[in-house]
A and B are shown apart, each in its own frame.
Chain A
Amino acid sequence: MMSRSNNNIALQAAGLTKIYGSGHTEVVAVRDVTVEVNRGEIVALLGPSGAGKSTLLTLLGLIRPPNTGRIAIDGTLVFDNHQAKVNVRSFRRQKFGFVFQKANLIPFLTAAENVRLAMEINDQPARASRKRAMELLEYLGVAERAQNLPSMLSGGEQQRVAVARALANRPSLILADEPTAALDSVRGRQVMELFRKVAHEQNAGVIVVTHDHRALDIFDRTLEMEDGQLHEKGT
């Protein structure tokens, strides 16, 4: 699979296994997972608590190395078993966007600065960062809150700013970990629709970990995890 060359593939992962502890305390959190996500595609990742969704997310997000398996992003091999083949942090900076259950905005920066920060740590010029931050906030409907601190924004607004930050560096892949868990159903659906819009319009692959089965119609594909193993559920 890794040898397949397709410019539209954002993520290719094969045979991923993650084991915590050893001996009697050994836990296989992710077992032989293979997954592929295309650019412009939005994928739901379902599963009960403890199924290994978050661990899989840390592997796919290059936060932790797998024990075995390979991960390629945009066709570049990043992890070959537990060995990193590139500067992982730099790769994460350029290719990934993250959104979480809580917006996790930096509390001492305004909404616009939170978005700019992601670009400035990726060595984007300040003027260009400022312009794109405002464009993104406008695109996500929170431009009028650009100069507000996170504490002055509602939960939905914070989550939109977090999505803007995730999009700032034009990522190949956006990973979202239960992004609607803290929102009511109406706002939750709005955020999910936003992800779909982002995937299709910004041409990014999006993986959303969710428990919310009411919004599954939004996703192109649904994957389900159980006991560390991944199954395709179909749309």
Chain B
Amino acid sequence: MNLATKDIKHNFGRFSLTTGGIGLLLMLVMGMGGIYRGLVEDATSLVERIGADLWVVQKDTRGPFAEISRIPRDLEDRVLTVPGVESAHGFVSHTVQRDYKGKPLRLTIQGLSWPLDRGLWLPIAAGRGLTQAHYELVADKSSRLQVGDKLALGKEIFTVKGLTKGMTSQAGDSMAFMTLDDAQAVQFDLSPESIRIERTARVNRLFNIDLGQIQPQLSERASGPSSGLPALGTSMISAVLVSVKPGYNIEAVAKQIEAWPDVSVYTEDGQKQLLLTGNVDRARRQLGLFRVLLIIVSAIIMALILYTLTLDKLHDIAMLKLIGARNSIILGLIMQQAILLGCIGFCIAYLLGQWIFPYFPRRVVLVRGDLYSLVIIVFVISILASLLGIWRAIRADPSEVLS
């Protein structure tokens, strides 16, 4: 005869409510782990999906995600001359925030090196990839944009041509993909008034230096478009993505490019490590701390619940002891209930999580390994939580029945 299940059956309402509460608490623990996994996945998914062998960035920076990196666009051509390099694409990444249909819309814009990179690697969930050099956009579904939506960015109107799934930045913002030129146009967009003011300021600066005094014709160029000024040189990008030819050693190619005094080079794993040990690390530790605290709180609450449930049964436990029940029977009654409480709570947490997590603002990724370790943690805290109740039950005096 199983006393634990008989007692639960008899007090089904109370047990259900208690397990529901424990389930909600465990759902938070599970959610914290899932948010952490989502954070890691968000941070590394783009690097993984792009699949570049090497990332060439500004010297001594951890760019382009962990830190700002600015390199000239013509670095692509220089990289292509290195033996073993199959392809080199420019890459631009920046975040914009616009009002769209009355709500703020944040997009992390990734520039693709058109026409070499048409975003064929993107996980398209609806619509299609880029087929034009300008004014087309592929956005992630989490932005809530729809195929065919039109969005004003810079001085142009972009049409959403496709939607990806699961492409969010490490900050949780939806990613949007467009050609590199368009991405730069959006990034460096200035209002006409700003351009006019800058041109006037530029002419004034010119007349205040010797060059302006001895070359007055420069003032005509200075008041014209920035692109007409040789001093500005080529436009800036965030990184150059390099694919190494099969048969070549990636490390060797990296070493060769790294020898240049103006760039730093990271492999795909190196880039992921930068992301995980940089921006994500603090959030990861914070979430980990919250997770540990929640587990401790869950254990304390479970211990108090089990202690209260034991107090309610103390007279019956004293009676059991009086008629000679072994301690193992009494321990079994409390411990089985604790384990059932934990296990059913875990199942409730999992089922509720499956339903609620997709509505969380940040991605929650439940990994099988994390779920298994949480099962073990729940099992251990169930046993630990029952100890307080067991301690009280063992102290129950059979003579209490007589009083």
Task: Write the residues of chain A forming the contact surface with B, with a CB cutoff of 8 angstroms.
Answer: 54, 57-58, 61, 63-64, 89-94, 96, 98, 100, 104, 106-109, 113, 116-118, 120-122, 126, 149, 165, 177
Contacts and interface: CB of A to CB of B under 8 A. Distances in A.
Nearest to B5: A108
Contact of B329 (A100, A104, A121, A126): A121
A108 B7 contact: yes
Nearest to B6: A108
Contacts of B399: 58, 63-64
Given A89-B324, A107-B316, A118-B323, 13 more contacts: A57-B402, A58-B399, A93-B325, A94-B324, A98-B323, A106-B319, A106-B320, A113-B6, A121-B320, A121-B326, A121-B329, A122-B324, A177-B402
Nearest to A165: B323
Given A107-B10, A109-B6, A113-B6, A100 B402 contact: yes
B137 to A, nearest CB: 64
Contacts of A93: 323-325
Interface of B: 1, 3, 6-7, 9-11, 315-316, 319-326, 329, 398-399, 401-402
B11 A108 contact: yes
A57 B319 CA distance: 15
A211 B401 CA distance: 19
A122 B9 CA distance: 24
Contacts of A90: 324
Contacts of A109: 1, 3, 6
A168 to B, nearest CB: 9
Contacts of A98: 322-323, 401
A104 B1 contact: no
Contact of A120 (B1, B7, B9): B1
B322 to A, nearest CB: 6
B319 A104 contact: yes
A54 B402 contact: yes
A25 B1 CA distance: 45
A106 B324 contact: no
A110 to B, nearest CB: 9
A108 B10 contact: yes
A126 B326 CA distance: 17
A104 B315 contact: yes
A89 B321 contact: yes
A49 to B, nearest CB: 13
Contacts of A61: 322
Nearest to A130: B1
B402 A121 contact: no
Contacts of A58: 399, 402
B274 to A, nearest CB: 60
A195 B3 CA distance: 29
A94 B320 CA distance: 14
Contacts of A165: 323
